[in-house]
Homo-oligomer: A and B are copies of this chain.
């Protein structure tokens, strides 16, 4: 009988889980809060209670090849989640081991952006590619890098933190890391909000964004204003794309990917963001890389992609 995989994506707010077949059909899926349990054991107990009925419906534990977990700061080699700032459980959590003990199934863990990259490679925009980079543009900036057909984990399992690379030396402070000028401090939803506040303060360009209270300004509002033709909002995406494009050029000169796949909330801005990104990437590439690298937006449904990506880890199990 065809084998199935469980995919679980643990996010800062919600945890999505489901059962996936080999060709990426999501047979069952649901979600639960990540934040209801102060202990990881309580969280896993609830996950077990929620998932077990689906596993039974799918034909029982014998049909499940394994479980794939994506989580912030998840480490593939050690199966641990280490010091994840956005999760309620602190320190080093032996997550894979704990889930394995509870479900009696093999468990593979990696960070959420690596899982997303695997999902794109198996079911999404990166099918058939052996060299690509996945960039998730959400509240933060995550990344997963595939070279020679394999995810790059690095010597310690933490490779692919492209959101923290420094693009503007001595640039904007990232309050989470204490570093200045990282990609994430500009090209995330949080970064777009900060750029907006800066531009509103510095520039005199008329803008509908000036009518909003500071706390109501977010990347979605800036997008809506830009779509309505607001000149300042357009400048904000222009600026964000310029920094993202410079960063992408550097990534291309590192691993020479066939494509860069963008995913996450900010990509909803479409050409408003993609045009300056593409232009500034090309402007910073040396000739041998120019007009070769595709910038693609993921076409996986956002709610499913995380589960698909996590489940994809299972098919790599020997």
- Residue numbers of A with Cβ under 8 A of B are 73, 82-83, 129-131, 145, 147-148, 150, 152-162, 164-169, 177, 179, 246, 249-251, 253-258, 284, 286-289, 292
Majority DSSP secondary structure for residues of A touching B: loop
User: Which among B156, B166, B177, B256 is the interface contact of A159 at CB below 8 angstroms?
Assistant: B256
Chain B residues with CB under 8 Å of A292's CB are: 156
Tell me whether A165 and B253 are in contact (CB under 8 A).
yes
**Minimal beta-carbon separation of A92 from chain B (angstroms):** 11
Ordered by A's residue number, 26 sampled pairs between the chains whose C-beta atoms are within 8 Å are A73-B288, A83-B287, A83-B288, A129-B155, A130-B155, A131-B154, A147-B152, A148-B153, A152-B256, A154-B255, A155-B256, A156-B292, A158-B288, A158-B289, A160-B254, A160-B255, A161-B256, A161-B286, A161-B288, A165-B250, A165-B253, A167-B169, A169-B246, A177-B287, A250-B250, A254-B254
Interchain CA distance A129-B156 in the complex, whole Å: 12
Q: How far is the CA of A166 from the CA of B242 in the complex (A)?
A: 13
Distance A289 CA – B166 CA, assembled complex (angstroms): 14
Which among B159, B177, B258 is the interface contact of A255 at CB below 8 angstroms? B159
**Chain B contacts for A150, CB-based, 8 A:** 148
Residues of B within 8 A of A83 (CB): 287-288
Residues on B with beta carbons closer than 8 Å to the beta carbon of A160: 254-256
Closest B residue to A180 by beta carbon equals: B284
**Contact A165/B254 with A82-B288, A131-B154, A156-B292 known, Cβ cut-off 8 Å:** yes
Q: Please name all residues of chain B whose beta carbon is closer than 8 Å to the beta carbon of A82 when the two chains form the complex.
A: 288
A268 to chain B, nearest CB (A): 26
CA distance A148 to B154 in the complex (A): 7
- Known interface pairs A147-B154, A154-B256; A284-B159 also in contact (CB < 8 Å): no
- Per the bound structure, the CA–CA distance linking A72 and B207 in Å amounts to 52
Distance in angstroms from A289 CB to nearest chain B CB is 7
Q: What residues of chain B lie closer than 8 Å to A166, measured between beta carbons?
A: 246, 249-250, 284
- Report Cα–Cα, A130/B246, bound state, in Å: 29
- Shortest distance in angstroms between A254's beta carbon and chain B's nearest beta carbon? 6
Q: Which residue of B lies closest to A249 (CB)?
A: B166
Q: Complex: how many Å from CA A164 to CA B179? A: 23
Most buried by B among A156, A177, A251: A156
Q: Which residues of B contact A251 (CB under 8 A)?
A: 254
Given A152-B254, A164-B253, 19 further pairs, Cβ under 8 A: A73-B288, A129-B155, A131-B154, A131-B155, A147-B148, A148-B148, A148-B152, A155-B258, A156-B256, A156-B292, A157-B256, A159-B256, A160-B256, A161-B253, A161-B256, A165-B250, A166-B246, A166-B250, A177-B287
- A179 neighbours in B (Cβ, 8 Å): 284, 286
With a 10 A CB-CB cut-off, give which of A150, A157, A250, A288 has the most chain B CB atoms: A250
Complex Cα gap A197–B154 (Å): 39
Within 8 Å CB of A168, what residues of B? 169
